[in-house]
């Protein structure tokens, strides 16, 4: 799915700091009707685990974390052990990186606040250190120890590895909208090489990076921190992680905020189709804004959003045939795949629209693709040295384990193209083919679509943004109906997630919940 790392959730809203969500391809408010049973084979609700901790897990739950000073700014770091396989704890351990910043003010301490920016594959520790520990409201930071753990397979926690930098460059530049069988074959080969690289470099861990296992790790951390219940803010994929925790441990739910919610009851195909529609919704907002501005390279006043889309599609076809120079030190040119990724990256945050207009102007009128390449690189977390973070590797590893693949081969993608292109005339073709990535995964999926009810849990706040490109508002509506104690908080606006994005209404409502345990009133809407 294109959910990639997380999307911003909570970093400053600029495109260059987006948390990648690229492979997770999950969409937004679908313009179509309800999903068919084939698209949405809902399973039974996720069953809660026994309240008593099994004796085989006692050593993990009883461990004491050894904190040390790390970095600057008063952070402490530690390493936590969890079983590689919860069904066979004796089979070996995974070492998880944990970080915290102690509460900074007076007042009664409220324990730990665990944060996760999403992905899957986004570094929670990086998010904590770069944003949450300084960007969350002072009142929240004063009362809570701010805590993060990189999930298994991510960043500092025994990261999944798949390809080196040069191989990833080749992968990201592969034409993702094949025009003939030869190009289709090259795309399939790229997916197979990616999967084979992951299988060769992380053969054992690849079988144990599911969301259920990561949620169980969070409960071990809760115990190691000395908290009776979990207080948590998860964004984007982090909402799936948080809701999974609630389903497994409802009696241990403290104050949970699920911002930019995912719907666990949907199949991978439906998730991808919904997200395709979500990016179209976001693009329509961008298009309407663009044509009102003098520097819009896709049309002027009076140009319809549909024409803006056709103009952008024409540009994509042009760079498909004739890639644009970028001045990149490694000689990369802006092709259709990189250009499309750059545009999609800017859809996560309306604060990036100006940057996108400038990048498109340079590429379309001056044949300089550097600006769109910067946006694409930020999405993939590619550094100036040509190295990539492991975000995209972990993203695919988790997604392909959590759900059966959306498609089994190119023929199924081709059959689905009309539906995806209806959902988004601009992005549908590429996002349909992106949904093929898990078809060649070396490990069979262990998860399936399911409802999460979390009966007996304390009130949980589910947050949905009406024009969210990556996690459609309908997903927040669905999750809030599934969770027995959910309160839906709606943000009427653009961008991915809502907390910390500038809405005083949203921020004050969530702050009141975190500080005082007061959930929002039913049906509350903010703008």
Residues with catalytic annotation?
236, 468, 496
Please tell me whether residue 492 adopts helix, strand or coil conformation.
strand
The residue assigned the tokens 């089994």 is: 408
Region label for 89, one of left (φ > 0), alpha (ψ between -120 and 50) or beta (otherwise): alpha
In the chain, % helix, strand, coil (3-state, to 5) comes to 45, 15, 40
The residues near 72 (Cβ < 8 Å, ≥ 6 apart) are none
Across 42-75, b (16+ Cβ under 10 Å) vs e yields beebbebbeeeeeeebeebeebebeeeebeeeeb
The residue assigned the tokens 């976001």 is: 282
Task: Report the alpha-carbon distance of residue 333 to residue 346 in Å, rounded.
Answer: 19
- Rg of the chain in Å (alpha carbons): 22
Are 155 and 167 within 8 A, CB to CB? no
Rounded to a whole number, what is the distance in angstroms from the first to the last CA of the chain? 28
Across 148-171, b (16+ Cβ under 10 Å) vs e yields bbbbbbbbbbbbbbbbeeeebbeb
Are 495 and 259 within 8 A, CB to CB? no
Listed residue (365, 392, 369, 362) closest to 379, CA to CA: 392
- CA-CA-CA-CA dihedral for 23, 29, 33, 34, to nearest 10: 70
Task: Report the alpha-carbon distance of residue 154 to residue 161 in Å, rounded.
Answer: 9
| Count of all residues that appear for the chain in the document | 527
Main-chain dihedrals φ then ψ at residue 46, nearest 5 degrees: -60, 125
């Amino acid at each position: 799915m294109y959910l990639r790392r997380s999307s911003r959730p909570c970093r400053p809203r600029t495109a260059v700091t987006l948390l990648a969500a690229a492979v997770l391809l999950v969409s937004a408010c679908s313009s179509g009707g309800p999903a068919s049973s084939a698209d949405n084979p809902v399973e039974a609700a996720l069953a809660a685990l026994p309240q008593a901790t099994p004796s085989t897990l006692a050593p993990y739950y009883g461990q004491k974390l050894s904190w040390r000073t790390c970095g600057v700014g008063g952070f402490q770091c530690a390493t936590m052990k969890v079983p590689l396989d919860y069904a066979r704890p004796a089979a070996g351990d995974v070492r998880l990186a944990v970080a915290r910043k102690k509460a900074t003010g007076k007042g009664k301490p409220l324990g730990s606040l665990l944060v996760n920016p999403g992905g899957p594959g986004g570094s929670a520790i990086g998010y904590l250190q770069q944003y949450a520990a300084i960007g969350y409201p002072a009142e929240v930071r004063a009362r809570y120890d701010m805590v993060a753990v990189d999930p298994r397979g991510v960043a500092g926690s025994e990261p999944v590895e798949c390809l080196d930098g040069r191989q990833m460059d080749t992968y990201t530049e592969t034409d993702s909208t094949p025009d003939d069988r030869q190009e289709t074959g090259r795309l399939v080969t790229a997916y197979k090489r990616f999967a084979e690289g992951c299988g060769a470099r992380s053969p054992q861990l690849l079988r144990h990076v599911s969301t259920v296992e990561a949620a169980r790790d969070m409960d071990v951390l809760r115990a190691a921190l000395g908290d009776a219940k979990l207080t948590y803010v998860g964004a984007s994929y982090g909402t799936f992680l948080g809701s999974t925790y609630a389903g497994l441990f409802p009696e241990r739910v403290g104050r949970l905020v699920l911002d930019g919610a995912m719907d666990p009851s949907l199949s991978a195909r439906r998730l991808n189709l919904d997200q395709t529609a979500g990016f179209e919704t976001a693009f329509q907002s961008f298009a309407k804004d663009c044509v009102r501005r003098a520097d819009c390279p896709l049309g002027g006043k009076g140009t319809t959003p549909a024409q803006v889309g056709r103009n952008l599609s024409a540009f994509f076809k042009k760079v498909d045939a004739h890639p644009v120079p970028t001045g990149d030190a490694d000689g990369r040119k802006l092709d259709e795949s990189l250009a499309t990724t750059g545009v999609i990256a800017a859809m996560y945050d309306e604060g990036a629209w100006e940057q996108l207009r400038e990048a498109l102007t340079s590429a379309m009128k001056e044949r300089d693709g550097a600006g769109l390449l910067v946006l694409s690189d930020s999405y993939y977390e590619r550094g100036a040295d040509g190295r990539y973070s492991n975000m995209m590797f972990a993203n695919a590893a988790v997604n392909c384990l959590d759900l059966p693949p959306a498609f089994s081969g190119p023929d199924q993608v081709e059959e689905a193209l009309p539906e995806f292109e209806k959902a988004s005339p601009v992005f549908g073709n590429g996002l349909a083919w992106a949904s093929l990535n898990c078809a060649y995964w070396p490990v069979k999926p262990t998860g399936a679509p399911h409802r999460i009810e979390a009966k007996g849990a304390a009130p949980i706040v589910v947050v949905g943004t009406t024009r969210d490109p990556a996690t459609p508002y309908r997903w927040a509506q669905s999750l809030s109906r599934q969770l027995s104690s959910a309160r839906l908080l709606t943000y009427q606006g653009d961008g991915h997630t809502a907390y910390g994005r500038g809405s005083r209404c949203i921020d004050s409502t969530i702050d009141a919940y975190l500080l005082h345990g007061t959930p929002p009133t039913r049906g509350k809407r903010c703008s």
